[in-house]
């Protein structure tokens, strides 16, 4: 049996200073002395919860990233990704984490979030502090004009809430509104393919009565949720791959092109096909979902 070792004075001092700086941070925040930008994004808060995302990223989902450098390091950029998750939009969180960890010039990416999320208690302001903004063309255009990187999930609810049987099959890309805004603002589009998020909450059904009861547009049923209660919210540890594709430059189309319906539809379809192909590629590269 070994004797208990007394902690060295340096370790005690270090520990004490950590406690002090943490309590200082908490007191400072309780006094309101922190920064939020005009959109409600709170960088300090985001950095404080970042270790959770880091754990999910490296340990839980073992995310592999390809082409992170395709995201422009400065200026406006529109990241377009497939959407899934059924319960929590972890795909968006992991795209942001991937850029933080793999990009040479990391930036926080704003996310266009389904409107009804801002009607849910707690979720509404947590999303906002993490950089979530209600999805509408006005917000997207304004963020891009502020030279921010923004991610959109054009499938929206149809992608987020699709059943397990439809996994990795891209749904319709809305009406191509994001292409219109990208053309108006001259923003490059970076298609992003996320493989792995479809398996974290395999959705096998929906509960209409429960959805009506809590005022949510739908409530998913998975093998674990809602049967296991809060424990059912634990995402399954699938293996992930995120691929950032080559940026599509739209600056050559010039002003007014956003009103050209057929051009908008063509570009929408082009982006959609690129992501779908990357998904199939990524699925093969990833291999088995959980091992």
Partner 1 sequence: MTDKRIVIAGVSTRWGSELARTLQRRSGVGEIIGIDSTRPKADLGRTEFVEADIRNPVISRILPALEPDVLVHCGIVWYPEKGRPSRALHDINVIGTLQLLAACEKTPGLEALIVRGSAAIYGSAPGAPAFFTEDMARRFPLVTRFQRDIGELEGYFDNFARRRPEITCCMLRFGVEVGPGLDTPFNRYLNLPVVPTRMGFDPRLQLLHVDDATGALAAATMNPVRGAVNVAPDGAISLSRLLRLCGKPAVGVPPVLVSVINRRIGNYLGSADLYRDGELLLRYGRGCDNRRLREEIGYELAFDSEGTARDFARTSQGIQALFPSPHPGSPVRSVSR
Q: Where do contacts with partner 1 occur on this chain (CB under 8 A)? A: 24, 27-34, 36-40, 115-125, 128, 133-136, 138-139, 142
Residue with tokens 């409107």: 115
Distance CA 194, CA 157 (A): 16
Would you say 39 or 253 has its CB closer to partner 1? 39
Q: Which CB sits closer to partner 1, 125 or 253? A: 125
Residue 139 CA: distances (Å) to CA of 39, 90, 152: 10, 22, 12
In the complex with partner 1, which residue's Cβ is closer, 58 or 115?
A: 115
The distance of closest approach from Cβ of residue 212 to partner 1 in the complex, given in angstroms and rounded to an integer, is 16
Q: Are 224 and 86 in contact (CB under 8 A)?
A: no
What's the closest the beta carbon of residue 247 comes to partner 1, in angstroms?
26
DSSP string, 167-220: TT-----TTSHHHHHHHHHT--EEEEEEESGGGTS---EE-HHHHHHHT-S--E
Q: Which is nearer to partner 1, 34 or 55 (CB)?
A: 34
Task: Quote the least distance from Cβ 152 to partner 1, whole Å.
Answer: 14
Q: Nearer Cβ to partner 1, position 1 or 38?
A: 38
Collect all residues with Cβ–Cβ distance below 8 Å to 195 and sequence separation of at least 6.
168, 240, 241, 242, 243, 279, 282, 283, 286
CB 104 to partner 1: min, Å: 30
In whole angstroms, the minimum distance from the beta carbon of 21 to partner 1 comes to 10
Q: Is 124 exposed, middle or buried (0-12, 13-18, 19+ CB in 10 A)?
A: middle
């Amino acid at each position: 049996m070994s004797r208990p070792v007394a902690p060295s004075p340096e370790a005690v001092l270090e520990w004490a200073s950590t406690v002090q700086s943490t309590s200082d941070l908490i007191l400072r925040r309780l006094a309101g002395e922190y920064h939020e930008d005009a959109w409600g994004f709170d960088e300090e808060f985001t950095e404080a919860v970042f270790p959770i995302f880091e754990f999910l990223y490296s340990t839980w989902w073992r995310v592999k990233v390809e082409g992170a450098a395709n995201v422009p390091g400065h200026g406006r950029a529109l990241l377009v990704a497939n959407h899934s998750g059924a319960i929590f939009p972890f795909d968006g969180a992991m795209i942001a984490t991937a850029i933080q960890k793999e990009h040479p010039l990391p930036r926080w990416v704003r996310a266009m979030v389904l409107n009804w999320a801002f009607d849910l208690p707690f979720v509404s302001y947590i999303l906002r502090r993490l950089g979530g903004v209600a999805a509408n063309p006005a917000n997207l255009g304004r963020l891009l004009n502020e030279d921010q990187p923004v991610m959109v999930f054009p499938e929206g609810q149809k992608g987020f809430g699709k059943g397990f049987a439809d996994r990795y099959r891209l749904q319709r890309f809305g009406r191509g509104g994001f292409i219109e805004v990208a053309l108006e603002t001259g923003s490059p589009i970076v298609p992003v393919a996320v493989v792995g998020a479809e398996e974290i909450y395999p959705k096998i059904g929906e509960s209409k009565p429960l959805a009506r009861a809590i005022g949510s547009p739908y409530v998913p049923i998975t093998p674990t949720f809602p049967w296991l209660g809060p424990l059912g919210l634990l995402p399954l540890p699938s293996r992930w791959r995120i691929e950032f594709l080559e940026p599509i430059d739209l600056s050559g189309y010039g002003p007014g092109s956003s009103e050209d319906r057929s051009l908008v539809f063509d570009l929408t379809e082009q982006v959609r096909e690129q992501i779908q192909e990357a998904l199939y590629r990524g699925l093969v590269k990833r291999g088995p979902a959980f091992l």
